[in-house]
Structure 1
């Protein structure tokens, strides 16, 4: 099915009525275009459909200008403070947030929905499922929170996986750490500290290269095709001045928060989006500069990651001042 921008706009305008995404009869308000964009299946119940729609619209809205993102999220009832039973009340709430009247807020909502639909159609990739052929599982969502401003950098990883085959009992994961400073040295097992908070048992760890560990995670129970499973891991390791996801298996969403800290501000932070893995280490490789907020943090997200490419950020530290 081809999704047109006009069809998607019409369906989104229907969705914003009443309670928005919180409406009891959500499935009756979701048309074929929105189903395609949000990858809804016939097996999805009301709760799962609501989750998929909410997450997809939130991700798409993140690409809008601040004012349009504010009013669009409110229009669909995706902003916690704007979860009101009537659309006109959400419009008024949005108007106060952008310091405009209700009529202007309605126009901004229409503009935001049009841009959101254009972006959704432009990035819709019907080959997503085809990319999963040959893979036993894929990542539906990966969220990482990394704190660099610690004696040893620490990351929490929350991952939701989906089985693409029956009788899946183990996940193969990998993590790259910084090798010792001496030239030609290899990373050692003690250079990486891994804890499983929930979702399985770590049963294997092997060196796949001089700085990459392969990890085997045994699942609590076998998964069959379409089953979802969530895992939570904590990593502690010395890292190079970059953090990227280089997926082995297809990944639908990668959300990354990096706390670089305020004590040592980076000179520049560069976005890596479908880059070659070596670009993360290459000081000459270019990328788009992105800002660091007042808390010394960076937040980026990516969709439809291709296996083998790098997605994330790298940074260049400022030179220490001489006193």
Structure 2
């Protein structure tokens, strides 16, 4: 952008880039981000704090919550803006290296120790993709549960690569690195299958993709005593997945105690899956 660009021109150019991205966000984030940048007509006030006040009234939240929502929204918009469009008009990947075309997960909660079978088909969006960065979060509900340890998660690779690295990325997230047998050229697909075993510290299972996912099929098999409620979580914040105030469509298990959910076009950083209330 030229150094002598006028303020109005700068705002118009910024709006041209940011507005379409912000409109892909959930309602509260979209309103907060558009208000912060004065891109929403009713919120076009001269001072930032006035725009924060406006969003707080509009969303029935306090100013501090709105500022946090603005920060979260900007972070998501930045991911999308930095990625750029993928060839063929598909969804962008945050680092431009690969995305998931199909993710199929079977979660067995009727086992002595819950098991997750993950079947994934990835597509290389860059040349020479040799390693995949994966992760699993074991949400801690309280300090009484104790810290999550790397050994709390068992991982088995059935096919598709070699697990070469695993380490704690945060207090409850285990990062994994899967090295492929040979680097993938741009546009090639690759299938892999993994099994995870771990005790669930909170009654929910969600996919929070680092890279875009075109389709996510989730099958969950519950124990003989079914949950009192099962809720579909679609494009929510990861922290909200365990918040009973974050509602979604209620789903019922079939005669085998199973549910099957499908999600399309998953955006990085948001959570998709289910939450259940233990049987009363």
Judged with a 3 Å threshold, the aligned counterparts in structure 2 of structure 1 residues 317 and 128 are, in CA distance, closer, same or farther, namely farther
Partner of 1:162: 123
* 1:235 and 2:219 are equivalent in the alignment: no
1:260-299 pair list within 5 angstroms: 260-262=222-224, 264-299=225-260
The answer (yes or no) to whether the contact 1:174–1:214 under 8 Å persists in 2 is yes
Aligned residue among 101, 106, 116 for 1:140: 101
Partner of 1:206: 167
SS at 2:148's partner residue?
Answer: coil
SS at 1:266's partner residue?
Answer: coil
Name stretches of at least 5 consecutive residues in structure 2 with no aligned partner. 1-86
CA distance in structure 2 between the partners assigned to 1:307 and 1:202 by the alignment: 23
Partner of 2:213: 251
Partner of 2:275: 314
Q: CA deviation at 1:208?
A: 1.2
1:1-323 pair list within 5 angstroms: 129-132=90-93, 134-179=95-140, 182-183=143-144, 185-239=146-200, 240-262=202-224, 264-319=225-280
CA distance in structure 1 between the partners assigned to 2:89 and 2:232 by the alignment: 23
Judged with a 3 Å threshold, the aligned counterparts in structure 2 of structure 1 residues 210 and 134 are, in CA distance, closer, same or farther, namely closer
CA distance in structure 2 between the partners assigned to 1:291 and 1:130 by the alignment: 31
Partner of 1:51: none
Matched residues, number? 193
CA distance in structure 2 between the partners assigned to 1:181 and 1:134 by the alignment: 33
* Alignment TM-score, normalising by the size of structure 1: 0.57
CA distances 1:89-130 after superposition (whole Å, capped 9, x unpaired): xxxxxxxxxxxxxxxxxxxxxxxxxxxxxxxxxxxxx99525
Judged with a 3 Å threshold, the aligned counterparts in structure 2 of structure 1 residues 130 and 194 are, in CA distance, closer, same or farther, namely closer
Task: Please list every run of at least 4 consecutive aligned residues from structure 1 whose deviation after the TM superposition is greater than 2 angstroms.
Answer: 126-135, 178-185
Q: CA deviation at 1:211?
A: 1.1
Q: Which has the higher contact order (CA 8 A, sep 6+)?
A: 2
The answer (yes or no) to whether the contact 1:159–1:231 under 8 Å persists in 2 is yes
